[in-house]
Amino acid sequence: MPNKILRLPPERQTGSRKRVLVVGAEPFMQESITTLLSTMGWMCSAVSRLEDVLPAIEQASFDAVLLHLGQSGAGLERAILGIRESAPTLSERIVVISSGVVDSEILELIERYDLSHLPQEKVLSRLWSTLEDLVVSPTWCKVAPRNIQVARLLFDSFLTPSLAGVRSLHTSGRHFTYEHNNTTIDVLVDVQPGSDRISLMGQVLDATKPQAKKENLAVVLTAQSGTLARTTTNRLGEFNLRFQFAENVSLEIRMGERSWISVPLTHMDWAKERIKQRRATGT
């Protein structure tokens, strides 16, 4: 299939339009995606192969990349690493679209690089909301006023021994436990191996209702510069974020319509020092 660029009419190509690179989609899927996004005012460009991704992002600026794998993920990791090197911000806005049974190696790559994943049959129903979470400030970030309650620090693995009932985490990172009313928030922060980026894993728990669902809670990581990362919890109340180091980081979790819990992560100097040490030693 020859490469072709699909654009909106010139009168709609303004600087405010978001732009998506669609990779490897069959003609019918490419047309469906383009039609869907164009109704939202987005622009689409398309290339046929994973090998064409890097030349495309070097020639134009994109807000997100859709990688349609079909039934083969050959070259996926190479494309991901290339995007991370050439456009680090864009690497956090990759959506993998799969068809048929997904190979275990592909699933492992999706998990390792924290990529968004959509089965082909869910594209038309979920693509817009997925891109909105990755690129556009979600509407729940704009709702005001918000009732924000600050959680208190219950446990810090750098300062105190493990508490009874708190799961032991054998890691080089730092483990925090916060509490607000009946809600407990476990947070594990670490510097990613061979990287300046920081990983943050967490879980939201209800002490009075251990089996209560904590799925699809909005989680937003902010600093003075603005939003660093965002995600939602899974069915176990777990969440994962990746971000560049910043001062005065705060984690906000949406518990209800206008109810949020704020988790201040002010104790981050250790991560900054660890990044400096790695840079100095080259490890």
Q: What pLDDT shows up at residue 184?
A: 94
The Cα angle at residue 12 between residues 11 and 13, in degrees rounded to 5: 95
Distance between alpha carbon 163 and the CA centroid of its chain, in Å? 31
Pairing of strands 116-119, 64-70: unpaired
User: What pLDDT does residue 246 have?
Assistant: 81
What was the pLDDT predicted at 154?
A: 87
What is the DSSP pairing of strand 174-180 with strand 19-23? unpaired
For CATH 3.40.50.2300, the residue range(s) in the chain are: 10-136
The whole-number pLDDT of residue 12 equals 35
Q: Would you state the torsion angle of the CA atoms of residues 146, 151, 157, 161, taken in this order, to the nearest 10 degrees?
A: -170
Read off the DSSP letter of residue 10. G
Q: What is the pTM of this model?
A: 0.49
User: What does residue 83 show for φ and ψ, rounded to 5 degrees?
Assistant: -65, -40
Low-confidence residues of the chain, pLDDT below 50?
1-15, 71, 137-145, 166-170
**Degrees, nearest 5: CA angle 162-164-169:** 40
The DSSP letter of residue 32 is H
User: How far is it, in rounded angstroms, from Cα 72 to Cα 235?
Assistant: 29
- In tens, the pLDDT along 27-59 reads 878 888 887 777 677 888 988 888 889 999 988
The C-alpha atoms of residue 214 and residue 204 are separated, in whole angstroms, by 7
Q: Give me the pLDDT at residue 73, please.
A: 61
Residue 169 confidence (pLDDT): 47
Classify 54 as helix, strand or coil.
Answer: helix
Q: Which CATH number fits domain 10-136: 3.40.640.10, 3.40.50.2300, 3.60.40.10, 2.170.16.10?
A: 3.40.50.2300
What fold characterizes domain 141-281? Immunoglobulin-like (2.60.40)
